[in-house]
Structure 1
Amino acid sequence: MRLTSLSIPDVLLLEHEIFEDERGFFFESFNEKRFANVAGVKPQFVQDNHSKSMRNVLHGLHYQIQHTQAKLVRVIVGEVFDVAVDIRRNSPTFGHWVGAVLSAENKKQMWIPEGFAHGFVVTSDSAEFLYKTTDYWAPEHERCIAWNDPAIGIKWPLDVPPVLSAKDQQGVLLADAEVFP
């Protein structure tokens, strides 16, 4: 496993050693001991989520203000552009974002620690997205920052307006959002 810090060093891109031949492929998508040795983090995952979305569906930017979640995310079908936004008010990268293409083909994963809002847009016909979380979903503590907040300035790879859920249409600007100290 190779870890690369993105422009916000706490967000990591994971690339795995893939064993592939004419029969198919194998890789170890998570190993607690190796992750702790390489990333210096020993997450305790409590929930796995699996979603499927169509092209141009945009999810996010989501986070929980209590029962905060770190996430390890990956795509098993299709491709997405995955984004993490630092919402730790005292961080030197507060309000900054990082993004990466995650796909079934490249098999990359992204580690998004607590204190970040997360979102993604589907860039293939459809995508299946898996993510492990370090705390349970708590809808009463879930918050959403507007995907298109100009203060954040995410450069989403979209040629048309995204397809948004009702919740995501109600996202607030970072300036008005509850954030982490």
Structure 2
Amino acid sequence: MNIIHTNLPEVMIFEPTVFGDARGFFFESFNTRRFAELTGITVNFVQDNHSRSVHNVLRGLHYQIRHPQGKLIRVIAGEVLDIAVDIRKKSPTFGQWAGTVLSAENKRQMWIPPGFAHGFLVRSEYAECLYKTTDYWMPEHERCILWSDPAIDIDWGITSAPLLSSKDDEGKLLADADVFG
């Protein structure tokens, strides 16, 4: 497994070693010991989530203000642009974002640690995402930052309005959002 570092030191992309032949392929998608060796982080994943979204759906930017979740994201069908935003007020990278394309083809995964907001845009006909979390989903603590906040200025690479949930459409600007101290 190879680590690709992003402009946000805590956000990492993992590129697995894939073994393939005429029958198909095999790769280890997660190994606790190897993750700790590569990152210096010991994680305890407590929940696995699976989402399916159609083309041009944008989900995010989501986070939990209490019981923050670390997330390990991968795509098993299609392609997304996956984004992490640092929302730790005391961080030197507060308000900055990192992004990468995750796809069934490239088999990459992105680690988004607690203290970061997360979102993705579906760039294929549809996409299925699997993600592991380090804490349980607690809707009462969930928050959403507006995907198009000009202060963050994420380059989503889109020319038309994305498909949004009402929650995502009503996200707060970073300046007005609950953030981590």
8 Å Cα contact 1:81/1:157 also seen in 2: no
8 Å Cα contact 1:50/1:131 also seen in 2: yes
Q: Structure 1: which 5+ runs fail to align?
A: none
Structure 2: distance between partners of 1:160 and 1:56: 9
Identify the residue that residue 61 of structure 1 maps to in structure 2.
Answer: 61
Q: Give runs of ≥4 in structure 1 deviating > 6 Å.
A: none
Aligned ranges 1:122-161 → 2 under 5 Å = 122-161=122-161
- 2:26 equivalent to 1:26: yes
Structure 2: distance between partners of 1:75 and 1:173: 28
Please state how far the C-alpha of 1:157 moved relative to its aligned partner.
1.9
Q: For residue 175 of structure 2, what is the amino acid of its counterpart?
A: A
- Render the CA deviation track for 1:40-67: whole Å, top value 9, x for unaligned: 1111000000000000000000000001
Structure 2: distance between partners of 1:118 and 1:87: 10
- Render the CA deviation track for 1:118-151: whole Å, top value 9, x for unaligned: 0000000000001000000000000000000000
Aligned ranges 1:4-153 → 2 under 5 Å = 4-153=4-153
Aligned pairs, number: 181
- Render the CA deviation track for 1:91-112: whole Å, top value 9, x for unaligned: 0000000000000000000000
Structure 1: distance between partners of 2:68 and 2:94: 17
Please state how far the C-alpha of 1:158 moved relative to its aligned partner.
1.3
After TM superposition, the score normalised by the length of structure 1 is: 0.99
Identify the residue that residue 178 of structure 2 maps to in structure 1.
Answer: 178
Structure 2: distance between partners of 1:86 and 1:69: 13
Structure 2: distance between partners of 1:103 and 1:170: 28
What is the percentage of aligned positions where both structures have the same residue?
Answer: 64
Q: For residue 143 of structure 1, what is the amino acid of its counterpart?
A: R
Structure 1: distance between partners of 2:43 and 2:59: 24
After TM superposition, the score normalised by the length of structure 2 is: 0.99
Q: For residue 12 of structure 1, what is the amino acid of its counterpart?
A: M
Q: For residue 86 of structure 1, what is the amino acid of its counterpart?
A: D
Structure 2: distance between partners of 1:155 and 1:82: 11
Q: CA RMSD in A?
A: 0.5
Q: Structure 2: which 5+ runs fail to align?
A: none
Please state how far the C-alpha of 1:164 moved relative to its aligned partner.
0.1
User: Helix, strand or coil for the counterpart of 1:130?
Assistant: strand
Structure 1: distance between partners of 2:48 and 2:88: 25
